[in-house]
Structure 1
Amino acid sequence: MDTDKQSQAMGQGAEPAQAQQVGDGRMEGQGTGQQGAAAAGAAGTRNVGVLTPPVDVIEDAGGITLLADIPGVSRENLHLRLEAHSLTIEGALSLDIPQDMQSRYAEVRHQHYERTFALSRDLDGAQATAELAQGVLKIRIPKTQQAAPRKIPVSAAPR
């Protein structure tokens, strides 16, 4: 999807990075563990921060579909929040270490995903659906009845 269509799908005239990061002030790459090597703490863990999951936004005549890549996050550790005209995806990944083993260094053991999107007023958040399969979160948000395209019947004029 090109930049203009992506901005329209989310109802923004702004650049996609700005529209996608409503309220948290981060731009792509910030808070994603891409800041370079962080110093290992005493417990042998790396402070990675919040990861920004990659997302595809697909628009059709009936609404938008978001596909977010959140590998390892279970349904129980996934939280979607819809407030006014913004959607927030949050997820946590926690890998357990077997009791007979001890962690020496861990970068993946505890991860937190978060991403917020500004939504168009033409989308009906109350009708949103979500499903998680093989690490991919699929969120479908239909357009409101007023915004959905519709056919206008043409009748014959009275004689």
Structure 2
Amino acid sequence: MSDLATLPKNGGLANKKTLSGFPSLSNWFDDFSMGEFPSLFSSNFNTGMSTPKVNIKEEADAFIVEMAVPGLKKSDFNINLDNNTLSISAELKENNEEKDEGYTRREFGYSSFKRIFTLPETVEDSKINAKYNEGILNIHLPKKEEAKQKPARSIKVS
């Protein structure tokens, strides 16, 4: 298993090629963060939602994207694949109303995020799956058979 990839300030990873001719994690992962929806008010009823951070791991047979998004439900996520573009988004609308002895108090809030990633052609897009557990969204991006890392082996000289 490789180390986690980290995103520098500009949102891209360092560019490098692998020996097999397939793009490495570094040169396929273009992240176009759509930014956070800014909090319009400083009061506590509109908390906003910052752009979630991601960890990306490259394993021998897959790429794993882990996104920290606590406080959401599975149904809050919208994950789409269009050609080689993976988009992950969530949108929350909150509307609270209290009625008490002659007055009505209404507070509402809106928050959202959207992350977009360009996937390499080595990802088997028909087998992508996502799971959400304890505030972490995990997206499993399996590699095509020809892109999987082969184990080292000895070759006999005849």
1:76 and 1:39 mapped to 2: Cα distance?
A: 27
Structure 2 CA distance for partners of 1:86 and 1:120, relative to 1, 3 Å: same
Q: Which amino acid aligns with 1:102?
A: R
Match of 1:71 in 2: 70
Q: Which amino acid aligns with 1:8?
A: S
Task: Tell me which moved more, 148-157 or 114-123.
Answer: 148-157
- 1:125 is displaced (CA, Å) by 1.5
In the alignment, which of 9, 14, 18 is matched to residue 4 of structure 1?
Answer: 14
Match of 2:129 in 1: 129
- 1:47 is displaced (CA, Å) by 9.7
Match of 1:102 in 2: 105
Match of 2:53 in 1: 54
- 1:46 is displaced (CA, Å) by 5.6
Q: Deviations over 1:63-90 (max 9, x none)?
A: 1100112222211121110111111001
1:69 and 1:128 mapped to 2: Cα distance?
A: 19
Q: Is the 2:46–2:110 Cα contact (8 Å) retained in structure 1?
A: no
1:150 and 1:58 mapped to 2: Cα distance?
A: 18
Gaps of 5+ in 1: none
Match of 1:81 in 2: 80
Identical positions, percent: 15
Q: Is the 2:95–2:106 Cα contact (8 Å) retained in structure 1?
A: no
TM-score, normalising length from structure 1? Answer: 0.66
Task: Tell me which moved more, 84-93 or 144-153.
Answer: 144-153
2:40 and 2:111 mapped to 1: Cα distance?
A: 15
Over the aligned positions, Cα root-mean-square deviation in angstroms equals 3.6
Q: Is the 1:82–1:88 Cα contact (8 Å) retained in structure 2?
A: yes
TM-score, normalising length from structure 2? Answer: 0.66
Q: Is the 2:60–2:149 Cα contact (8 Å) retained in structure 1?
A: yes
Q: Is the 1:77–1:93 Cα contact (8 Å) retained in structure 2?
A: yes
Q: Counterpart of 1:81 in 2: which secondary structure?
A: strand
Gaps of 5+ in 2: 7-12, 17-22
Match of 1:92 in 2: 91
Q: Deviations over 1:8-35 (max 9, x none)?
A: 31643xxx6xx100xx7x4xxx4452xx
2:64 and 2:137 mapped to 1: Cα distance?
A: 10
- 1:154 is displaced (CA, Å) by 6.1
Q: Counterpart of 1:117 in 2: which secondary structure?
A: strand
Match of 2:120 in 1: 120
Q: Which amino acid aligns with 2:58?
A: E
In the alignment, which of 20, 24, 36 is matched to residue 31 of structure 2?
Answer: 20
